[in-house]
Structure 1
Amino acid sequence: LIYEYGINEEQARRYLGAFLFHGDEVLRRIGDLSGGEQSRVAFLKLMLTGANFLVLDEPTNHLDIPAREAVEEALMAFPGTFLAVSHDRYFLDKVANCTLELENGKLTEYLGNYSYYLMKKEIAEEEAREEHEREKEAQAKRHSAKEAQHVAVDAKQAAAAHEAAEKRREEEKKRAEIGRIQSMSDAKREEMVQRAEAEIAMAEAELKGLEFQMNDPAVQADPQQSQAIAEAYAAKEKEIEMRYEKWERLTEA
């Protein structure tokens, strides 16, 4: 480091210490280092090049926990931009502020870490399921309307039957979910609880942001924008209520 990057011994030791090389370890030859140690040195050399954009492929592979934490701290202190490909979800949660998903040739951007990405994916899947259920219900109603031309059906009985069917479907869905939760291992359930709590905290933070916008005089002066913010706020409240219900099922099952 001293000869390659023009730094003195004190600076070199300080940089190496940040990557967990201490004492006489700084005098060891590169060829004598383990794979994980060589990875740390390579990463440090990258940081010292002065580059403002890094491309990292599985940067935490072969690293133990202290070494991985050292890399995470270095990345969070890095003043430039980095693109990391990794299967380490905890690493991505720690250092990423934007997640990119490449699926079927399409690139989708999520402005948050890995947990935020999972939350948004889950919301999208739930919305797709709800839309599918609405479409099935609409088809059933259209079919019923055609049959009603030939058969007189008591409106009150039909409404009661529909309500009862909706209630049964809701109860069956809840029982199925509770069954899945009860079949989980304690570790998996704890992970799901922690994820649910993180998603609730994130949704509540987004709700606070919407509340701040609603109280902005500039927004209040624009009826169209004010209505859009109010609708987003109501939707976010409904989302939070749904997430609390999910959390309660996870903790009570």
Structure 2
Amino acid sequence: MTQRRPRPRTLDELLAEGASVPTEGWDFSWFEGRATEARPSWGYATTVAGRLGSVDGPVLDVQTGGGEVLAFALSRASGRPPLVVATEGWPPNVSKAAALLRTRGATVVASAEDAPLPFTDGSFALVTSRHPVRPHWREIARVLRPGGTYLAQHVGPDSAYEVVEHFLGPQPAERRHARHPDRERKDAEAAGLEIVELRAERLRMEFFDIAAVVHFLRKVIWMVPGFTVEAYRPRLRELHERIEAEGSFVAHSSRHLVQARRPGGPRG
């Protein structure tokens, strides 16, 4: 992204803009010039595209959001799996993903993020997911066929906690480390999966105006649960003044790449 700041505007104008931008899907293009986030070195969407070109069975993308990442991967894949299905639980995203992925030959199934996956045992050769709210390891293991793979990018511990703690104050270690890759390794193995690869990186984020912070918190709703401009206006004003004085607000995201395999079947 180009790191340029928009023309100065009043706090009220910026808050109103951040509160009005649609939040459906996982398209982050609105942040262009207003916020940046470094990307992990492994290139998740490109990695998925490579796997889609070689997988020899049905594919499931869990919590697909607006379908943007899966659509990109399908457009770059050298081959086409025999069946591609995606799940999504938020109704506005279900509609958006269905319209987008239909053009790529994929089907979207409405399924709440905390519900059992609506598929029979051993249905998929590959299950993918980008930033699931919580990985349901036993369900993932159940719907994978023997020898099948789970390939995902997860949000890691302490991700963007500079933002979270500005609004909520210091957070307990239990919440900060709930997404630790070591814990996820144990949970995956307890569900019967073998971890093939687990890579973690911490990445720089930078917000150049308060509208970007507002939009981010409205889009990533688990960061500050129940966030509204009205409820947090004093903290927003304080952060706006800090950005105006310092030029930006720096935070750090945490990501890890997970590849896990259901034992049995051919290796590939």
TM-score (ref. length: structure 1): 0.21
TM-score (ref. length: structure 2): 0.20
Higher relative contact order (CA 8 A, sep 6+): 2
Structure with a larger share of its residues in helix: 1
Structure with a larger share of its residues in strand: 2
Q: Max radius of gyration: which structure? A: 1
